[in-house]
Amino acid sequence: MSTTDTDGVLADPEVGAVVIATRHDSHADLVRAALEAGKHVFVEKPLALSAEELDAISAAHAARPDRVVMVGFNRRFAPHAQRMRALLSGVAEPKCFVMTVNAGAVPPEHWTQDRRVGGGRIVGEACHFIDLLRFLAGSPIKGFHGQLDGPGAGTAVTDDKASITLTFEDGSIGTILYLANGHRSFPKERLEVFTAGRILQLDNFRRLSGFGWPKFRKMNLWRQDKGQKQCARAFLAALRAGGGPAPIPSTSSWK
């Protein structure tokens, strides 16, 4: 069932789970209200636009820990990401990740560029890649640094071009280049991983190449698969299992 009658859905005892796919500024309040109504929640990213909103969700979830709250970070469920995680889990050394996102330009007046409504493209979209690196590292994020593109002649928006550096507790490091000033002929999403004298290179969730990996050279798909279907299936499987464990642990997707 699809509806805009939020109050009616939350009050309906026959509704056990809700999917939140509204604009970003409404996510946090809807998640909190759904938890308080005793519903399981699948919410499209981002979960919240501020630390205060995140704290309110954490408190609501602490009161209903039996409810599943899952953010739609689908890329970790993609076949290529799953294969990369399996390969990397056998390596004890820290990993070095380079994620290049050729996101493309969005007009300055688009709602995603409005920090009050969309949170800006870094909060609203780049979070996908922070989650992906966290998943592949298999280690909690220890610290981060972000740098936006500086203002210059002819630059209408600077908030959609940034460099984000992550450090992980196991010594791994990751750099995410989220860029809106490239050309569409270049791959939209490219990930490279360097570790233990080996390299993995993922292009657009269609081609995965291995360099120096024993018994692995490539994994190609006929069609791009970013894991959307697998992500939804994981949420449904958790509900069928009685509400847990959550497919994405809250400690890795919220903080």
Per residue in 58-79, pLDDT (tens digit) is: 999 999 999 999 999 999 999 9
A 10 A CB-CB count for 75 gives: 21
Per residue in 168-185, pLDDT (tens digit) is: 999 999 999 999 999 999
Dist CA 82 CA 38 (whole Å): 32
Which pTM was predicted?
Answer: 0.93
What's the pLDDT score for residue 1? 66
Q: What is the mean pLDDT of residues 24-50?
A: 96
Q: What is the mean pLDDT of residues 229-240?
A: 96
Contact 214, 234 (CB under 8 A): no
Predicted confidence band at 102 (pLDDT cuts at 50, 70, 90)?
very high
CA distances (Å), 82 to each of 25, 85, 101, 149, in order? 31, 5, 20, 32
Contact 108, 161 (CB under 8 A): no
What's the pLDDT score for residue 197? 97
Contact 46, 24 (CB under 8 A): yes
β-pairing, 141-148 vs 162-168, is antiparallel
What's the pLDDT score for residue 149? 82
Who has greater pLDDT, 144 or 243?
144
What's the pLDDT score for residue 191? 98
- Which residues are bridge partners to 98 per DSSP? 175, 192
What's the pLDDT score for residue 123? 93
Categorise residue 163: left if φ over 0, alpha if ψ from -120 to 50, beta otherwise. beta
Query: The tokens of 184 are what?
Result: 């569409």
- Strands (E) across the chain are located at 17-20, 40-43, 69-71, 96-102, 141-148, 162-168, 173-179, 189-195, 198-203, 207-211, 218-220
Per residue in 106-143, pLDDT (tens digit) is: 988 999 989 999 999 999 999 999 999 999 999 999 99
Q: Is it the case that residue 51 has pLDDT exceeding 70?
A: yes
Predicted confidence band at 160 (pLDDT cuts at 50, 70, 90)?
confident
CA dihedral sign of residues 130, 136, 140, 144: negative
